[in-house]
Amino acid sequence: MYDLVIIGGGPGGYNCAIRAGQLGLKTAIIEKRGKLGGTCLNVGCIPSKALLHASEYYEAASKTFPSMGVRVTGLSLDLPQMLKQKDDSVDGLTKGVEFLMKKNKVDYIKGAGRIVSAGSVEVTAIDGAKQTLEAKNIVIATGSVPTDLAGIAVDEEQVVTSTGALSLPEVPGRMVVVGAGVIGLELGSVWRRLGAEVTVVEFFDRITPGMDSEISTAFQRVLKKQGMKFELGHKVAGVEKTGGGLLVSIEPAKGGGARVLEADVVLVAIGRKPFTTNLGLENVGVRFDQRGFIETSHFKTNVEGIYAIGDCTHGPMLAHKAEEEGIAVAQALAGKWSHVNYDVIPNVIYTDPEVASVGKSEEELKAAGVEYKIGKFSFMANSRARTNHETEGLVKVLEDAASKRVVGVHMVGSGVGEMIGEICVAMEFGASAEDIARTCHAHPTMSEAIREAAKGVDGWTMQA
């Protein structure tokens, strides 16, 4: 009898397993993919960042190096090697997760899990062999899959989801991306840098609709300057295969005549949906909402002893959110303090420049009727940014005027994905903008822009 059986080996599941193992719970993790790490490690965060990193260097070698006195002659793309180094990173990391299961005495069972009843999970191995695990507690961590675009068939070769877009065997001449969200802009950037002409079609009249709109506007301006094209306020009505290419029919979202874009590859990136197929949830009566997310209260489903974490339940679909929830459930089952602070979950888009935010946007504060103060600082005035030729972007700090706590920070700029960690710590400690402004930051660093923006909240920005 296990204390805990986890179904799904992504960042939610494997982090839950590690923490449970550390806390002495007898734990098993079931994964049907054949490799641990879930979407994130196999077809998500890690391979996309491997391509973003490599393609950024490739573009920099031709566009940025010369202005810094570095001449590269005979620069060329070795796409098979770029894809291989991505696959090598994935392989190494999935093996690392497997090692962590052993280290923490977690049983890793390869196969598909199905809940037979509360406390009982049947596992079907790839060869069809079945076994049943008895468990005091079950954690569902089955993640998510791409949302389909009605009437458009994905073949993962010409019409691809993020999974196909991570392994295109050659650079498409023209790529149409459906959805100006995180996947579309990250993977669109990869293929644009490698030579594709990329057009992004977005239903709303702005990119990254949930983001602070000032940041989103600044972000779009940079992407446009880099050569990415946008068809905002449009939806894709159909994709037709011709001899070699694709005809993508787009229509204004508000109605009107259709136009046709020619493409070699279409990337459909209109969001992801929870994955709970063939899990046996109907056997036990676990409740879903209308969009298929498992309903939970403090990670508990409506069925005693069954929990749900990560992308298959509510909240941002992010690896670190899944990880937080996995840790919290393990802690709860071991009788320890267990909490996730959903107000401090950072969001990063790993383009160049990066976009990073945490907390509330200005629009959200306005809608909630919260009085707030703002401080801003442009990287144009930051000495390190100027030295590095990385002056695009800004930092925006939002402070609740009544409590004097920082409630949101939004940034576009080189390396801001690393810098957001400072803000998360500050917000966890209930910092005011003044706390950040009075903290000594190393010079010359990009992070000084955060300090200057924080000073701006109380009107004493010094370096602009």
Q: How far is the CB of 42 from ligand NAI (least distance, A)?
A: 14
Q: How far is the CB of 147 from ligand NAI (least distance, A)?
A: 7
> Which one of 52, 196, 265, 279 is in contact with ligand FAD (CB under 6 A)?
279
Q: Which of ligand NAI, ligand FAD, none does residue 279 bind (CB under 5 to 8 Å by kind)?
A: ligand FAD
d(CA 9, CA 34): 10
> Which one of 45, 93, 281, 446 is in contact with ligand FAD (CB under 6 A)?
45
With respect to ligand NAI, which residue has the nearer C-beta, 351 or 378?
351
> Which one of 17, 178, 318, 327 is in contact with ligand FAD (CB under 6 A)?
318
Q: Which two tokens stand for residue 259?
A: 């136009």
Segment contacting ligand FAD (CB under 6 A): 1-9, 173-181, 241-249, 430-438?
Answer: 1-9
With respect to ligand NAI, which residue has the nearer C-beta, 293 or 372?
293
State the pairing for strand pair 394-400/372-378.
antiparallel
* Residues at the site binding ligand NAI, with contacts judged by CB under 6 A: 149, 178-184, 186, 201-204, 209, 235-236, 269-272, 316-318, 348-350
Residue pair 242/236 in contact by the 8 Å Cβ criterion? no
d(CA 47, CA 41): 7
> Which one of 19, 21, 25, 39 is in contact with ligand FAD (CB under 6 A)?
39
The 8-class DSSP code of residue 312 comes to G
Residue pair 139/16 in contact by the 8 Å Cβ criterion? yes
Q: How far is the CB of 66 from ligand FAD (least distance, A)?
A: 30
Residues in contact with ligand FAD, counted by CB under 6 A, come to a total of 35
Q: How far is the CB of 464 from ligand NAI (least distance, A)?
A: 29
Q: How far is the CB of 39 from ligand FAD (least distance, A)?
A: 3
Q: Which of ligand FAD, ligand NAI, none does residue 203 bind (CB under 5 to 8 Å by kind)?
A: ligand NAI
Q: How far is the CB of 236 from ligand FAD (least distance, A)?
A: 19
> Could you give the residue numbers annotated as active site?
443
> Which one of 48, 104, 382, 432 is in contact with ligand FAD (CB under 6 A)?
48
| DSSP notation for 353-392 | SEEEEEE--HHHHHHTT--EEEEEEEGGG-HHHHHTT---
> Which one of 98, 202, 212, 311 is in contact with ligand FAD (CB under 6 A)?
311
d(CA 416, CA 195): 26
Instruction: Tell whether residue 10 is a contact of ligand FAD (CB under 6 A).
Output: yes
Instruction: Tell whether residue 319 is a contact of ligand FAD (CB under 6 A).
Output: yes
> Which one of 162, 301, 351, 357 is in contact with ligand FAD (CB under 6 A)?
162
Each residue of 224-260: b (16+ CB within 10 Å) or e?
A: eebebbbbbebbbeebeeeeebbebebbeeeeeeeee
Q: Which of ligand NAI, ligand FAD, none does residue 142 bind (CB under 5 to 8 Å by kind)?
A: ligand FAD
d(CA 443, CA 428): 25
Residue pair 334/185 in contact by the 8 Å Cβ criterion? no
Q: Which two tokens stand for residue 438?
A: 């009075």
Residue pair 356/416 in contact by the 8 Å Cβ criterion? yes
d(CA 141, CA 44): 16
SS3 content of the chain, % helix, strand, coil (to 5): 35, 25, 40
Sorted by sequence, the CB contacts under 8 Å of residue 283 that are 6+ apart come out as 115, 116, 117
Q: How far is the CB of 183 from ligand NAI (least distance, A)?
A: 3
Residue pair 462/441 in contact by the 8 Å Cβ criterion? no
Q: Which of ligand FAD, ligand NAI, none does residue 274 bind (CB under 5 to 8 Å by kind)?
A: none
Q: Which two tokens stand for residue 363?
A: 């629009």
> Which one of 106, 141, 178, 248 is in contact with ligand FAD (CB under 6 A)?
141
Q: Which of ligand NAI, ligand FAD, none does residue 181 bind (CB under 5 to 8 Å by kind)?
A: ligand NAI
Give me the amino acid identity at 422. Answer: E
- Residues found near ligand FAD in the complex (CB under 6 A): 7-13, 30-33, 38-40, 44-45, 48, 112-113, 141-144, 162, 183, 275, 279, 310-311, 317-320, 322, 350
